[in-house]
Amino acid sequence: DAMVIQNPRYQVTQFGKPVTLSCSQTLNHNVMYWYQQKSSQAPKLLFHYYDKDFNNEADTPDNFQSRRPNTSFCFLDIRSPGLGDAAMYLCATSRGGAGTDTQYFGPGTRLTVL
Amino acid sequence: GENVEQHPSTLSVQEGDSAVIKCTYSDSASNYFPWYKQELGKGPQLIIDIRSNVGEKKDQRIAVTLNKTAKHFSLHITETQPEDSAVYFCAVHKAAGNKLTFGGGTRVLVKP
């Protein structure tokens, strides 16, 4: 009965080689988030979708893109990964709207850049 | 923007003792305060939350208290067990918008 699913759990890529991380949800939530988390730090929001509306954080590098083809799926694309992009990438969802702001996180994808 | 400070950054307790983690926030419009537990290699898991119209909430060994006037809230874990060892994050949500602001995290170690 997994609610927020991330694939793969571990991803290894080469410097500069594009990579896509996947997130799916069975909660039918309106909002999907992507966070980057580096060791011993709090999750850092990259962007989120409210339905089809994309909301980018001001300090998210252009190297990071996202797609949400439908309610259930959301993808994180890293166009040219650098060594500094090695991190845990977390997907989260929330229902959206007043009083429904609880975020539920997936297990994360650990990205290694060689 | 919102600023959330969390203390302490590390906490070591003996099994059976209590643990308390405190967070302060800056924006008085904030209205929702969740706590997450993150074990090594896993995603954050919601363990308890509180809304601005409530002063205290308890769930078995875990409780959260909120002081809106002082703009701080705390997580209390009683009768700690080794499986409580993890990193705990507080977070703050404003009435408008869909984003959380996280504290810096507290690494809790429960020694058997």
User: Does the pLDDT of residue B11 top 90, yes or no?
Assistant: yes
Residue B97 has pLDDT above 90, yes or no: no
Q: Which residues of B29-56 are buried (b: 16+ CB within 10 A; e: fewer)?
A: ebbbbbbbbbeeeebbeebbbbebeeee
Are A108 and B89 a contacting pair at CB < 8 A? no
pLDDT in tens, B34-88: 999 999 999 999 999 999 888 999 999 999 999 999 999 999 999 999 999 999 9
Q: What is the pLDDT of residue A100?
A: 62
Residue A84 in 3-state DSSP? helix
Percent of chain B scoring above 70 in pLDDT: 99
Closest Cα in chain B to A42:
B104
Record the tokens describing residue A94, joined without a space: 């929330």
Q: Tell me B28's DSSP state.
A: T
**Distance (Å) from the C-alpha of residue A19 to the closest C-alpha of chain B?**
20
